[in-house]
Amino acid sequence: MRSERVRVLAEIALTIALCAVLKLWRIHLPWNVAGGDISLAMLPILILALRRGVLPAAIAGAAFGVIDFFYEPYAAAPIQVLLDYPVAFALLGVAGIGARRVAILSNSGRRMAAEAVAVPWMVLGAAARFLAHFVSGIVFFGANAPAGTPVWIYSALYNLSYVVPSLALSIVVALLVMPVLNAAVPVGVTGAGEASS
């Protein structure tokens, strides 16, 4: 039990470090004046969520969110900073609800079934992240909306412009990396999704 906790803590630390490194390679969209890049920064958090469950991924996501703020700090208000950085990345941990099912399928050698289950959970995690940015956009960045454009449409389009491509890239890479990672460092069914069960 203690060695399993040490493994989880090590995976959380590694996830945070990988997020910080992957954030260095990003595409900044010209219209994203208030932040939002296409990158693989959320990939390690999604993988951790699908391996270890909601809580470890939420912890890693929140910690990385603090680091992410310092890459290009953009602060309109303290609540906005919380929503767009630690809360948004912590919410990626929602993908961990499916961790136990993914582990069962992976451990039984049903790779394609595990991937089919993992993808919707990754989408849900990214949708939860999007929701935090969407609310922040409506409340704090409505003044940036072009004249005549409803604030909620502006916020949705702005945030979808980087969350969706980042998710698509993350899914492709996750489906390539997870089988190799699970073979090298398998997660038992009891070790997967403990935080969410």
Mean pLDDT of 142-160: 91
What was the pLDDT predicted at 187? Answer: 82
pTM of the model: 0.91
What was the pLDDT predicted at 73? Answer: 83
Could you tell me what percent of the chain has a pLDDT over 90?
Answer: 72
- SS3 sequence of the chain: CHHHHHHHHHHHHHHHHHHHHHHCCEEECCCCCCCCEEECCCHHHHHHHHHHCHHHHHHHHHHHHHHHHHHCCCCCCHHHHHHHHHHHHHHHHHHHHHHHHHHHHHHCCCHHHHHHHHHHHHHHHHHHHHHHHHHHHHHHCHHHCCCCCCHHHHHHHHHHHHHHHHHHHHHHHHHHHHHHHHHHCCCCCCCCCHHHC
Domain range 2-191, its CATH number among 1.10.1760.20, 3.40.50.720, 2.70.98.40, 3.40.50.1370:
1.10.1760.20
Say whether pLDDT at 91 is over 50.
Answer: yes
Work out the mean pLDDT of the chain and round it to a whole number. 90
What was the pLDDT predicted at 27? Answer: 86
Say whether pLDDT at 195 is over 60.
Answer: no
pLDDT-derived band at 62, boundaries 50, 70, 90: very high
Say whether pLDDT at 173 is over 90.
Answer: yes
